[in-house]
Amino acid sequence: MYNNILTYLIFIPLIGSALMLTISIIRKENNDNIYKWIALIATGLQLLLTILLLIDFDPKAGMQFEEQYSWIPKFGIEYYLGVDGLSIPMVFLTSFLSFICIIASWNINKSTLGYFSLFLMLDTGMMGVFVSLDFFLFYVFWEVMLLPMYFLIGIWGGPQRTYAAIKFFLYTLFGSVFMLLGMLALYFYSDPNTFNLITLIQTAPQIDAELWGYPLKYLIWLALFIGFAIKVPVFPFHTWLPLAHVEAPTAVSVILAGVLLKMGTYGLLRISYPLLPGEVIDFSMILAILGVINILWGAANAIAQVDLKKMVAYSSVSHMGYVLLGMAAVVADNKAGAQAGLNGAVMQMFNHGTITAMLFLLVGVIYDRAHHRYIFFPKGHEKEGEVGFGGLNSNLPVFGAFMALTFFAGLGLPALSGFISEAMCFIGGFSAFRTITIIGTLGILLNAIYFLRAYQYVFFGKLNKEYEGLTDMNAREIGIIIPLAFLVIFFGVYPSPLLDLVHPTMDNLIDLIQSSSTFLGMK
Amino acid sequence: MSNFLSLQYFLPELCLLVFTLLIIIFELIPSLKKHTFNLSVIGLIITSILLLQTHGQNSALFLGMITIDPFSHFFKYIFLLSTLLVIVVSRYTKELESIYFSEYLALLYILLFGLFLMSSSINLLMIILSIETVSIASYILAGILKYDNKSNESSLKYVIFGAFSTGIMLYGMSWLYGFSGSLNFYQINISLQNLEDPFIVYMAVVMILAGIGYKIAMAPFHYWSPDVYEGAPTTMTAYFSVAPKAAGFALMARFFYVTFTDYSGSAPVGVSNVDWMTIVAILSAATMTIGNILALRQTNVKRMLAYSSIAHAGYMLMALSVATDSALISVMFYLFTYMFMNLGAFFVLIYANNVSNVETIKDFNGFGAKSPFLAGCMVLFLLSLTGLPPTSGFIAKFYLFAAMIEAEKFYWLAIIAVLNTVISLFYYFSIAKSMYLDKITNDVGIEENKVFTFVVLVCAIPTAFLIINWSSLYDYIASSILFGLGL
């Protein structure tokens, strides 16, 4: 029954999407609900398969559920899928968030067919990225996501959606074309020529060509890094993110922040790290510095925001900085430090996915009701300077409670999942780059400032008369928050199931990098 | 091969000529007049059957004037297919209702005949003859809308530019002839080997590039193309951007690969160290950058697509500049996919023009809601023109870049090309934006037309589904890069 399970995972949503289009052609008069149900069933099925996959997954067995078929033999392109401890949390995150997002999108009424079919195409692309082990296939899936995302932001987004959509598209494409060149260079300079990411682990480090006076591997690393860094996004490539996140409809923001950002760091860990270990070591300092800049810059920007959603968007920039810092710790002399760093990074990827999903969903809840989401009204608004909400705890207690939980998770309160992974990233960072990490810890403080301040102005104080009539969260909204909240609390109290999934793979990665000649030379 | 024996392999071309005459005769007989369209379609089908008969042949015909080889065969199929699609669409184009349709068909046939010769000439004289055959038919076709000023203007500009650049090319060829005493590619190549002072060759290369550059709209010889593309009937714009361009590339590839390249070393270099590769590389960078940057500012869809087609010529030149086998394969692969995606985009435009007079990008407003199928296909074509997966345009572009990296040459050019890809996304998607993202301001209902649906589908299917497996296409093209024999 587990034959080709990964193929099913990828293509079930696409089949759903095709089914919707077929139905729309065959039957002219349609109740839009049919599309919603198809989407729900497709993502539900996908989630179910993911859970089966998780149950059968053996963390110690390395790469598993492999499917390998020759695709274009002449060019060594394969249809090669597989999951290991790095991809399995991401696979789960993708199908879990997709399922939740479909429910969260239930009130979408503007061209339902388009929305849900694009959403499923996006799902296919995301899942494909996380299970591909062939660089060409990886690249195809990586790019396939762009078009649905463009339309999802551009058609169903907020007032500045057109600009946000094309900016997202251009930025990501800019990154990925460089990735294409890096990929081709890896292909042609490795012997034998291959896109197979597992084979390349052996062959890629042996590339010793030079170009323009630099070792070619440096340039390949840079080309790949640009592609991944834009997706993360690493400062200074982050400017597409706040715009896209704010303008996108709620469910799409969830996917953007919850899954798409992780692709950048996933790509680094899946491709750059094992293929170019020497360069990873050389660039680890820069990675750590960029990580800390991300943490501080994102947090500082979040403090300055008056729009809740924009604040959340910048908090993502900050939180992805932790991942980068943890990843940079791979060079730590102290093996435990390196392990803490890398495991922390992958766990932070997962935890940030769930926390940020809650943040965006909850911001969406208030936006649906009040049609704005200002903490303070901004300049130029008719109520400039006034507090946007205030005292919401008195008439939306459930909402207030969930928001409190989410904010605390976001600022890294112990016993919630964010704390564990952020702490691990810092432990890792500290054992490799002491000063940089100490500066980075300031981010914790800054994170607390904006989350607490936002909570204070939205939920405490005097209730704004205008919002007395607001209703609390309905069953659907509570229903999609509870599983996320469960994961956040569960992994906060008892993180070892997640850690157990991840750490054998990460240990191998650390060994691989630390056994490379550059690292030994450093010692 | 002697002239008489050659005729048996020249049947496809002869068939085209016969049908050209038939179309003209049918036009004169009132009772048969309405059948010219069907006749032209039948003619193309018969030609392609005859072409199939000569498949795999590889010999020089008419005492070394032209050649019949797998390379020219590949291009002839491209010409036939694009002509067929354009003829079918022309039949249902409103713009062309006022003209004598048979005249138009006959001219297209003559043009096609010229394209056939262009892809198979191995003799300088034949090059000039075939280019002129194509050009003269093109001039008339560009200006065929007699009462449209823009169409007349475009025709005139085309004539002036064409005549001028052919003149320069002819002059360049006279240098070659004067030096080598031969008109045949292969013999010229032999006499150009090991020159002390290759100045003559440089002169010839530059001047011949001017002539070919005009045909494929290479910068700095591209100035005619936006005006001609804008003024010509849209069906012809679509055709000019595909078939004659492909012929130009076929001619250029054959000419430069055979005449100016030395394969004795491990990597191909220019004959007598004439570095035509670098010249082409620089021109390619200029072509793609100029095409893309100028396309950014266009509001007229036809002009925008004209500039975009300049940019595409730049991408293909990029690969030709490394002069390897895989580069040639990638260019042919690109032309094949480019034919479908570019014609497809133009066909949607023609349809939109038919029903609601679409001229500027803004006029596509609301098209997504009104005509979901064609608009969806348009997005597919735009995606493919940009070169994004999972479309065929991506695979083609992938091979172009692969050829560059494999040859380990001109990496800077590859970087310029990828940056250009990003730029091109912006203007291509301004159409998608207008169709889907902008607020709908005009709400004229559009009924989809079966013929257009079918023709667009013919273009859309290879564009969308080539990703599933393109091995056999690649193998076919790889087996087609065999150039014909010299004599």
User: Does the distance separating the beta carbons of A166 and B426 come in below 8 Å?
Assistant: yes
Chain A residues in contact with B475 (beta carbon < 8 A): 74
Is residue B18's pLDDT more than 90? yes
Residue at A25: amino acid letter: I
Query: B124-142 and B101-120 are packed helices; what angle lies between their axes, rounded to 10 degrees?
Result: 160
A349: left (phi over 0), alpha (psi -120 to 50) or beta: alpha
Asked whether A135 and A186 are in contact (CB, 8 A), the reply is: yes
Predicted confidence band of residue A371 (pLDDT cuts 50, 70, 90) = confident
For B449, other C-beta atoms within 10 Å of its C-beta total 16
Q: What is the count of residue pairs from A and B with beta carbons less than 8 Å apart?
A: 83
For B321, the 3-state DSSP assignment is coil
Please give the full DSSP string across B72-133, using - where no structure is assigned.
HHHHHHHHHHHHHHHHHHHHT-GGGGGS-HHHHHHHHHHHHHHHHHHHHB-BHHHHHHHHHH
- Optimal mutation site among B398, B409, B421, interface A, most CBs of chain A within 10 A: B398
User: Does the distance separating the beta carbons of B470 and A178 come in below 8 Å?
Assistant: no
User: Does the distance separating the beta carbons of B389 and A144 come in below 8 Å?
Assistant: yes
Predicted confidence band of residue B360 (pLDDT cuts 50, 70, 90) = confident
Dist. CA A197–CA A135, nearest whole Å:
6
Residue-wise pLDDT for B373-396, tens only, equals 888 899 999 999 998 888 999 999
Q: What is the CA radius of gyration of chain B?
A: 22
Angle value at C-alpha B188, between B186 and B192, nearest 5 degrees: 120
What value does the mean pLDDT take over residues B406-420?
A: 88
Domain range for A459: 276-523
User: Does the distance separating the beta carbons of B425 and A170 come in below 8 Å?
Assistant: yes
What value does the mean pLDDT take over residues B444-462?
A: 82
H helices of A84-160, where?
A: 87-104, 112-131, 135-144, 146-156
Q: Are strands A214-215 and A210-211 parallel, antiparallel or unpaired?
A: antiparallel
For B173, other C-beta atoms within 10 Å of its C-beta total 20
User: Does the distance separating the beta carbons of B426 and A140 come in below 8 Å?
Assistant: no
Is residue A311's pLDDT more than 60? yes
Chain A residues in contact with B419 (beta carbon < 8 A): 174, 177
Is residue B487's pLDDT more than 50? no
Chain A residues in contact with B474 (beta carbon < 8 A): 72, 74-75
What value does the mean pLDDT take over residues B300-320?
A: 90
Dist. CA B393–CA B380, nearest whole Å:
10
pLDDT for B81: 93
**Touching check for B436 and chain A: CB below 8 Å?**
yes
pLDDT for A435: 87
User: Does the distance separating the beta carbons of B379 and A170 come in below 8 Å?
Assistant: no
pLDDT for A522: 62
Dist. CA A98–CA A145, nearest whole Å:
14
User: Does the distance separating the beta carbons of B421 and A173 come in below 8 Å?
Assistant: yes
How many structural domains are present in chain A? 1
**Touching check for A161 and chain B: CB below 8 Å?**
yes
Residue-wise pLDDT for A230-266, tens only, equals 988 888 888 888 888 888 888 999 999 889 999 999 9
Exposure b/e, A151-179, CB count within 10 A at least 16 = b: bbbbbbbeeebbbbbbbbbbbbbbbbbbb
Largest alpha-carbon pair distance within chain A?
Answer: 71
Smallest CA-to-CA distance from A269 within A208, A334, A344 is with A344
Is residue B439's pLDDT more than 90? no
Please indicate, yes or no, if residue A304 is contained in any of the structural domains. Answer: yes
**Touching check for A159 and chain B: CB below 8 Å?**
no
In the block, residue with structure tokens 């303008």: A247
Chain A residues in contact with B390 (beta carbon < 8 A): 140, 143-144
Which chain B residue lies closest to A223 (C-alpha atoms)? Answer: B415
Extended strands (E) in A113-259: 210-211, 214-215
- Optimal mutation site among B384, B418, B453, interface A, most CBs of chain A within 10 A: B418
What value does the mean pLDDT take over residues B150-161?
A: 90
What value does the mean pLDDT take over residues A70-91?
A: 89
Which chain A residue lies closest to B397 (C-alpha atoms)? Answer: A180
User: Does the distance separating the beta carbons of A170 and B422 come in below 8 Å?
Assistant: yes
How many Å lie between the alpha carbon of B474 and the closest alpha carbon of chain A? 9
A213: left (phi over 0), alpha (psi -120 to 50) or beta: left
Chain B residues in contact with A169 (beta carbon < 8 A): 425, 429
Predicted confidence band of residue A57 (pLDDT cuts 50, 70, 90) = confident
Please indicate, yes or no, if residue A435 is contained in any of the structural domains. Answer: yes
Please indicate, yes or no, if residue A448 is contained in any of the structural domains. Answer: yes
Is residue B334's pLDDT more than 90? yes
**Touching check for B472 and chain A: CB below 8 Å?**
no
**Touching check for B422 and chain A: CB below 8 Å?**
yes
Q: B142-148: list long-range contacts, CB under 8 Å, 24+ apart.
A: B142/B228, B142/B231, B142/B232, B142/B236, B142/B240, B143/B231, B143/B232, B144/B96, B144/B99, B144/B103, B144/B104, B144/B107, B144/B233, B144/B236, B145/B95, B145/B98, B145/B99, B145/B233, B146/B98, B146/B99, B147/B98, B148/B231
How many Å lie between the alpha carbon of B412 and the closest alpha carbon of chain A? 10
Asked whether B322 and B403 are in contact (CB, 8 A), the reply is: yes
Question: Alpha carbon A487 to chain centroid distance?
Answer: 16
Please indicate, yes or no, if residue A477 is contained in any of the structural domains. Answer: yes
pLDDT for A393: 80
Query: A33-56 and A112-131 are packed helices; what angle lies between their axes, rounded to 10 degrees?
Result: 20
In the block, residue with structure tokens 């940079």: A328
The tokens of A418 are what? 């964010």
Please indicate, yes or no, if residue A104 is contained in any of the structural domains. Answer: no
Q: What is the mean pLDDT of chain B?
A: 87
For A259, other C-beta atoms within 10 Å of its C-beta total 29
For A415, other C-beta atoms within 10 Å of its C-beta total 12
pLDDT for A45: 92
The minimal CB distance from A184 to the residues B389, B390, B401 is found for B401
Chain B residues in contact with A28 (beta carbon < 8 A): none
The minimal CB distance from B433 to the residues A72, A139, A166 is found for A166
Is residue B359's pLDDT more than 90? no
Q: What is the mean pLDDT of chain A?
A: 87
The tokens of B25 are what? 């005769």
Q: Which of A276-285, A307-316, B163-172, B256-265 has the lowest mean pLDDT?
A: B256-265
Counted residue by residue, chain A has a size of 523
Predicted confidence band of residue A139 (pLDDT cuts 50, 70, 90) = very high
pTM: 0.92
What value does the mean pLDDT take over residues A367-371?
A: 84
Predicted confidence band of residue B442 (pLDDT cuts 50, 70, 90) = low
Largest alpha-carbon pair distance within chain B?
Answer: 70
User: Does the distance separating the beta carbons of A169 and B425 come in below 8 Å?
Assistant: yes
Residue-wise pLDDT for B137-150, tens only, equals 999 999 888 888 88
pLDDT for B444: 60
Tell me the CA end-to-end span of chain B in Å, nearest whole number. 8
Dist. CA B389–CA B395, nearest whole Å:
7
Bond into B390 cis (ω within 30) = yes
What value does the mean pLDDT take over residues B188-213?
A: 84
**Touching check for B465 and chain A: CB below 8 Å?**
no
Please indicate, yes or no, if residue A133 is contained in any of the structural domains. Answer: no
- Summarize chain A as % helix, strand, coil (round to 5): 75, 5, 20
Burial class (CB in 10 A: 0-12, 13-18, 19+), B91: middle
Q: A374-380: list long-range contacts, CB under 8 Å, 24+ apart.
A: A374/A306, A374/A307, A374/A308, A375/A305, A375/A306, A375/A307, A375/A308, A375/A311, A375/A453, A375/A454, A375/A457, A375/A458, A376/A306, A376/A457, A377/A306, A378/A306, A378/A307
User: Does the distance separating the beta carbons of B471 and A73 come in below 8 Å?
Assistant: yes
How many Å lie between the alpha carbon of A241 and the closest alpha carbon of chain B? 18
A68 or A468, which is more confident?
Answer: A68
Question: Alpha carbon B329 to chain centroid distance?
Answer: 16
pLDDT for B113: 94
**Touching check for B421 and chain A: CB below 8 Å?**
yes
Which chain A residue lies closest to B417 (C-alpha atoms)? Answer: A177
The minimal CB distance from B471 to the residues A72, A150, A154 is found for A72
Residue-wise pLDDT for A25-48, tens only, equals 887 666 778 888 889 999 999 999
Is residue A523's pLDDT more than 70? no
How many Å lie between the alpha carbon of A116 and the closest alpha carbon of chain B? 15
Please indicate, yes or no, if residue A398 is contained in any of the structural domains. Answer: yes
How many Å lie between the alpha carbon of A200 and the closest alpha carbon of chain B? 17
- Optimal mutation site among B288, B370, B388, B465, interface A, most CBs of chain A within 10 A: B388
Q: HSE on the CB side for A152, CA within 13 Å?
A: 30
Asked whether B459 and B350 are in contact (CB, 8 A), the reply is: no
User: Does the distance separating the beta carbons of B429 and A181 come in below 8 Å?
Assistant: no
What value does the mean pLDDT take over residues B219-226?
A: 86
Bond into A192 cis (ω within 30) = yes
Please indicate, yes or no, if residue A376 is contained in any of the structural domains. Answer: yes
Asked whether A16 and A39 are in contact (CB, 8 A), the reply is: yes
- Optimal mutation site among A71, A117, A150, A240, interface B, most CBs of chain B within 10 A: A150
The minimal CB distance from A174 to the residues B389, B422, B474 is found for B422
